[in-house]
Chains A and B, each alone.
Chain A
Amino acid sequence: QVQLVESGGGVVQPGTSLRLSCAASGFTFSGYSMHWVRQAPGKGLEWVAVISFDGNIKYYADSVKGRFTISRDDSKNTLGLQMNSLRADDTAVYFCARSSGYYKKGILDHWGQGTLVTVSS
């Protein structure tokens, strides 16, 4: 069955960096676009970024553009999110999600359980 397992979360200071990973299994990872979505404490879900199945297309929310980089390693079935210049308002649970079909359709049919990132001094 499809499994997505996020890792890499933790407590970091403002201005520092952190890299999240999402290990995928149970499907042909290289055939799917992937998204990152986050949820700040007590808040709703917020879309963060998408990468196309071939890695050629990457788009970001304005709130993270220029600071976060989404990537994929199909040889390791892994999705990544490099987060730089972290701010307190980046504190959230970060979910990776598989996109079914064309990435614009935003059909997130499988999600991980999430990993918590806390940015605090």
Chain B
Amino acid sequence: QSALTQPASVSGSPGQSITIPCTGTSSDIGAYDYVSWYQHHPGEAPKLMIFEVSKRPSRVSSRFSGSKSGNMASLTISGLQAGDDGDYYCTSYRDTNTVVFGGGTKLTVL
């Protein structure tokens, strides 16, 4: 099971916006609107940030947004803050009745 493709790292300065792409295939991202994004700080439980491509849990800041086009999904964080740093993972349902994660992207707030 190959993972979804994410860049290993991205960075931005406080106040800037960044976008993390997540590339899949026509068997996962391209076929279903079941894309989620998670923030993970090592040693802690991962935190759901976006689900069903673009929906936000009520406790997540509106600075976080998600989108999808074809086989690629994206997470955008606007107005970067120091606490936004960490590892971000995309996931999607795949037509083999499995859930697949992206390789993860380390966000550094400069």
Contacts and interface: CB of A to CB of B under 8 A. Distances in A.
B99 A106 contact: yes
Contacts of A111: 45-47
Contacts of A45: 38, 40, 46, 89, 101, 104
A63 to B, nearest CB: 7
Given A44-B102, A44-B104, A106 B93 contact: yes
B49 to A, nearest CB: 11
B44 A46 contact: no
Contacts of B34: 104-106
A19 to B, nearest CB: 21
A110 B48 CA distance: 8
A50 interface: yes
Contacts of A110: 45
Contacts of A88: none
B74 interface: no
Given A106-B34, A108-B46, A59 B97 contact: yes
Contacts of A106: 34, 36, 91-93, 99
B98 A61 contact: yes
A47 interface: yes
Given A44-B101, A45-B46, A107 B52 contact: yes
B3 interface: yes
Interface in B8-66: 32, 34, 36, 38, 40, 44-48, 51-52, 57
B45 A95 contact: yes
20 contacts: A37-B46, A44-B89, A45-B89, A46-B101, A47-B98, A47-B99, A61-B1, A95-B46, A97-B46, A104-B32, A104-B97, A105-B52, A105-B93, A106-B34, A106-B91, A106-B92, A106-B93, A107-B51, A108-B91, A111-B46
Interface of B: 1, 3, 32, 34, 36, 38, 40, 44-48, 51-52, 57, 87, 89, 91-93, 97-104
Interface of A: 35, 37, 44-47, 50, 59-63, 95, 97, 100, 104-114
Query: Which are the 4 A-B pairs with shortest beta-carbon distances?
Result: A44-B104, A111-B45, A47-B99, A106-B99
